[in-house]
Amino acid sequence: MTTETSLPLEHFIQAVQSQLDNAQTAMAVKARNLNLPLTFAIKDISLDLRAHVEFARSEIRIRPAGPSDKEASVFHLVFTAITRPMIEENAIAFSEDPEDRSLDELKDDLSDEERRRLEWAGVRTVSKLREMEEQGASRTVGRVTNLPVERLKRALDRASAPLVEHILPVERTSDDSPDLPNLLRIRGRNLMLKSLPGVMISGEPVSVVRATDREVVIAPQEHQMAGELTIAPSPQIVTAMAFDLRPFWRQQDVNKNTRNESAKDKGGAT
């Protein structure tokens, strides 16, 4: 790294931490696999860093000082050991749903700096922001981050809007009963709030078998295999998508008749 290069302070700390982790791993390999004694352990590491401090876009950046640079600041960093209970406690605090969406999806409504302010306040995902609004803490978040509450609400409304990504048939198997109704799987996001969503195809209601935030399974009638599907997680929120699955179900009927005829032939042969 040259003296003209600057980098975020957390990147420097993470790089040092990564190398210390590698050293710890090497000692663990020595003890577990080679059965060699550990005659010492490093508890704390103290490091003095001479660098210039820059502040841009709500980010602290450091630039290493040259050998004869007299105006550089001195960072005194102490790395200490962390115990397993401390690691587990923090891992739980920062754990996130793998299907949860990050604040990057709000980039059309909030700038990089504004999203970083939310992360400083502990709001790292869209669901966390929604949770705080439901708890009535949106004004507190707005005050801490210096963001207008209406902007936060508008960004959250856009991120919480339902979206249909796919409408797929649920294929039948040979073990399924012939009386099993046709099922369609609607995949997307924000498809259900606190109760089952309302689903219609070309203006006619459709039975909902089960639903989650990411998927809704419906049982349409035979004439509802095509048209405009609308799904409403609430009366005020509706989204729609046109689809046509009639060719698939015609093929399903052909396969079903073929299996029935094969079963009859086997029965007659016996």
**What does the pLDDT look like over 188-205, one tens digit per residue?**
988 998 889 999 999 999
**What does the pLDDT look like over 165-188, one tens digit per residue?**
999 988 776 666 666 778 899 999
Per the model's pLDDT, the better-predicted residue between 2 and 28 turns out to be: 28
The whole-number pLDDT of residue 216 equals 95
The whole-number pLDDT of residue 184 equals 93
Predicted TM-score (pTM) of this structure: 0.54
The whole-number pLDDT of residue 1 equals 47
Asked whether the predicted pLDDT for residue 109 surpasses 60, the reply is: yes
The whole-number pLDDT of residue 3 equals 44
- Say what percent of the chain tops pLDDT 90: 19
Tell me the range of 43-57, 226-240, 248-262 where mean pLDDT is highest: 226-240
Binned at pLDDT 50, 70 and 90, residue 210 comes out as very high
Could you write out the three-class secondary structure of the chain?
Answer: CCCCCCEEHHHHHHHHHHHHHHHHHHHHHHHHCCCCCCCCCCCEEEEEEEEEEEEECCEEEEEECCCCCCCCEEEEEEEECCCHHHHHHHHHHHCCCCCCCEHHHHCCCCCHHHHHHHHHCCCCEHHHHHHHHHCCCHHHHHHHHCCCHHHHHHHHHHHCCCEEEEEEECCCCCCCCCCCCCCEEEEEECCCCCCCCEEEECCEECEEEEECCCEEEEECCHHHCEEEEEEEEECCEEEEEEEECHHHHHHHHHHHHHHHHHHHHHHHHC
Asked whether the predicted pLDDT for residue 5 surpasses 90, the reply is: no
Q: What mean pLDDT do residues 152-161 have?
A: 84
